[in-house]
């Protein structure tokens, strides 16, 4: 995630400092691909604007996130996100920096 431009990084709640919960928001231009190798966390990926296509390693299902839709990840997994339109994606949870 360090190679992508971060629009905003913030804590989700007052308890986040003790829990390690943090959120990142990314602007991804249409056609741009974001490759997240081995996210080791419990996190939520939410599309704040636009449309994004998501695929997970070893998962034959393709996921499409539209504005205000989200998906949860509950284990260590590699994912690829492609912006089908200009998009803002939020990745939130216990994410190692």
Q: Return the pLDDT at 63.
A: 95
Please write the tens of the pLDDT for every residue from 24-71: 889 999 999 988 876 656 688 999 999 999 998 888 999 999 999 999
Question: Is the per-residue pLDDT at 2 higher than 50?
Answer: no
CA distance 52 to 19: 28
User: Looking at per-residue confidence, does 54 or 96 come out higher?
Assistant: 54
CA distance 63 to 65: 6
Domain 6-13+20-94: give its CATH code: 2.60.120.10
Residue-averaged pLDDT of the chain:
79
């Amino acid at each position: 995630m360090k190679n992508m431009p971060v629009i905003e990084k913030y804590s989700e709640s007052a308890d986040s400092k003790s829990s390690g919960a943090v959120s990142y928001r990314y602007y991804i231009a249409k056609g741009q691909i974001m490759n997240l190798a081995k996210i080791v966390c419990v996190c939520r990926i939410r599309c704040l604007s636009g449309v994004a296509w998501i695929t997970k390693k070893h998962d034959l299902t393709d996921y499409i996130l539209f504005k205000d839709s989200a998906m949860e990840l509950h284990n260590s997994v590699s994912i690829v996100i492609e912006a089908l339109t200009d998009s803002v994606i939020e990745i939130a949870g216990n994410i190692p920096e």
